[in-house]
Structure 1
Amino acid sequence: MEQDGHISHAEESGTADTTPGIPEPLVIGRRPMLRSEPGTLPKVADRRPDTELDGADLPGLTVRSVSIRGDAHRYYGTVRQDAMGLWQVGDDRLLACVADGVGSKELSHVGAVTACKAAYENFADFLEGEDLKVAADHLFDNIGNDIRREAHARGLEPGELSTTLLAAVVEGNADTHRVTLLRVGDCSAFHLRQGVWMSCFPEDEDDPEQLATSITRALPRDVGPVDVAATILNPGEMLLLCTDGLSRPMRGEQVRAQLAEWWSAPAPPSLPEFLWQLSFRVKTHDDDRTAICLWRT
């Protein structure tokens, strides 16, 4: 049985799932070839967990975040190269980061983790900058330097830790939540308003295939110019930060529609529900998948 292009595991096998507990991840469209479960443990330095799950309930803001190892990395026993981070800064600021280590570099997952951590550690200098563009370039220059130092401490060339990075600075009060977005590379940000997805970076809307066909900019080599965007998060709206493991399948209308349906619900999902939702499966899309969702309540 197929409804709106969504085929469940039980429907495809022709059996009814009567086992209590969390159901298998939703399959959207055609079923992938690879199984969606962890395989052998990666044999790399600083091995990271298969999955990270985090969240927060802040004044006027609900946050859910997850980073999931892709089915291909699970199948081949390789490490999750995505990273994420959430930090509350003072009483009215949130820093949220997603990073995607370059796939061809064995230790790029170290670079992704280092980039998120460095964004937080250098955040105070960013806040002191009077010109946003200059402050953004300075922040990413410092992040790049921190990645280089980490590489040198390991006796590696800095390029071995290559990673993309997207950082969001959310400033909120009782009346409004302003968001500043900073990035180097192909991570994406989307605004969900009344069930409609809108890219926060105009260049992504102008040429949605650009990031897929060009060489990805990455830290620490490319510290500037930094892409800068801004948006206002109003009550009932949601902001999505993600790596290309999610933005690529979102080019398909079925995926966009399903995510919009889930995330336009009256209440944000629980942490276990959010993890299940982000575990959806789509044929040919088996990369690591990282997402941070911020609902304005």
Structure 2
Amino acid sequence: TYAPEPTALPAADPEHLGELVSDTVLDGARYGACTLRAVSLRGDSARYRGEARRDALLTARFGTGEQALVLVAMATGVRAAPGAHRAAAEACRWIGQAVGRSHERLSEDLRAGRRGDLKSGLNRLTDRTLGKLRAASEEPTASLRCLLLPADPDCRTRIFFGAGEGGLFRLRDGEWLDIEPGEPGGTPPAAGALPAETPDGDRLTLDLGIPVPPSPYEPVVAPAEPPPMPFRFRAAVARPGDVLMMCTSGLADPLRGEAALRAFLGRRWSRAAAPGLAGFLADTRTRVKGYADDRTAAAVWEA
């Protein structure tokens, strides 16, 4: 339907050139037992219409040595909301600041396996971040999804948290599993032919709407408002050879809906080594007819 390469640039304001969003962002790193690849690219529809990328991506390392903590944050601005790309960028920046200020305690809890403290604290940080975006609107203006990765090679725990739509998938032994935490009291999102978590998989933890205790990472300055989007949390233990992928709906939807894309990425990413940055970009931009939204993805290869 659309040309395979960018067509039109978004309109620019000469007084606010710092708000321009590039077509594609690509990043990567290697820490501990994992290799990270991350990308955010403008969808075919936005490229054709000259619209800004509504997805935002942040990758950051806090701390040094084996105590370091790597954060990957991605957000998607609501399509109809004015300044959607700015809301997404602010969500990533604010959650990055909150995690960065508390990274020492977060890293300690992660390595010690204190999942309860992690869940309650990250829930509070997520609520505060999205609450800032809701201050001027009664409706949510962006979804937010994050991964926390320890630099300690002996710690295999990977933490996912956030609120809003998207996907969390694991490639193990050549098979994709949908491990996205579901709605409170419900089931994971419909995944078509994509199998969900197997009974012997990692136990996931959800926010079931119970009151959240004060965050162990930041002092409570005011009660958090009830979030309009359910908080999602998962603490998973990685195995050597696993690939864990977090993504926005722009990639989650075609991965759930198109067996050919699952098979292609499964073959490409089941190799012993993680792809280079150029190869990862080529893989994630594989186009599927009928899916033209922005795509943002972070994948972690386990050694």
Q: Tell me, yes or no, whether TM beats 0.5.
A: yes
Residue 238 of structure 1 is matched in structure 2 by 243
Q: How far apart are residue 293 of structure 1 and its match?
A: 0.7
* Equivalent residue runs for 1:25-174 within 5 Å: 33-43=1-11, 46-90=19-63, 91-123=67-99, 124-125=101-102, 127=105, 131-147=117-133, 157-158=136-137, 162-174=141-153
**Which of 155, 163, 166 is matched with 1:184 structurally?**
163
Q: Deviations over 1:158-192 (max 9, x none)?
A: 46881101111122533332111112100211111
| Distance of aligned partners of 1:190 and 1:253 in 2 relative to their CA distance in 1, 3 Å threshold | same
Task: Decide whether aligned partners of structure 1 residues 70 and 221 sit closer, same or farther in structure 2, where only a CA change above 3 A counts.
Answer: farther
Partner of 2:190: 208
Q: What is the TM-score of this pair, normalised by structure 2? A: 0.75
- Which residue of the partner structure matches residue 274 of structure 2? 268
Question: Structure 1: how far apart are the matches of 2:269 and 2:85?
Answer: 29
Q: 2:174 aligns with which of 187, 195, 211?
A: 195
Amino acid of the structure 2 residue aligned with 1:241: M
Taking only the aligned residue pairs, the percentage that are identical comes to 31
**Could you give the per-residue CA deviations for residues 240-259 of structure 1, whole angstroms, max 9, x where no partner exists?**
01000000100211111111
Alpha-carbon contact 1:141-1:224 (below 8 Å) kept = no
Cα pair 2:26 2:277 within 8 Å, conserved: yes
User: What amino acid maps onto 2:10 in structure 1?
Assistant: P
Query: Do structure 1's residue 279 and structure 2's residue 278 form an aligned pair?
Result: no
Aligned Cα RMSD in Å? 2.5
- Matched residue pairs, number? 249
Question: What residue in structure 1 maps to residue 201 of structure 2?
Answer: none
Counterpart CA distance in 1 for 2:140 and 2:46 is: 18
Do the aligned residues in 1 keep the contact of 2:145 with 2:163 (CA within 8 Å)? yes
Q: Measured at CA, do residues 125 and 145 of structure 1 come closer, stay the same or move farther in structure 2, by a change above 3 Å?
A: farther
Q: Compare 199-208 and 167-176 and name the one that shifted more.
A: 199-208
**Gap change, CA 1:110 and 1:37, over 3 Å in 2:** same
Match of 2:200 in 1: none
C-alpha separation in 1, matches of 2:230 and 2:42: 30
CA-CA distance at 1:275 after TM superposition? 0.9
How many angstroms does 1:98 deviate by?
1.5
How far does residue 105 in structure 1 lie from its aligned partner after superposition?
Answer: 1.7
TM-fit CA distance, 1:65: 0.8
Deviation larger for 54-63 or 66-75: 54-63
Describe the SS at the equivalent of 1:295.
strand
On the 8 A contact 2:164/2:229 being kept in 1, the answer is no
State whether residues 134 and 141 of structure 2, in contact with CA within 8 Å, keep that contact through their aligned partners in structure 1: no
Superposed CA deviations along residues 7-32 of structure 1, whole A, max 9, x for unmatched, are: xxxxxxxxxxxxxxxxxxxxxxxxxx
- The AA in structure 2 aligned to 1:194 is D
| Stretches of structure 2 lacking an aligned partner (at least 5 in a row) | 110-115, 193-224
Partner of 1:256: 262
Name stretches of at least 5 consecutive residues in structure 1 with no aligned partner. 1-32, 150-156, 211-219
Distance 1:70 1:285 in 2: 8
Aligned counterpart, 1:13: none
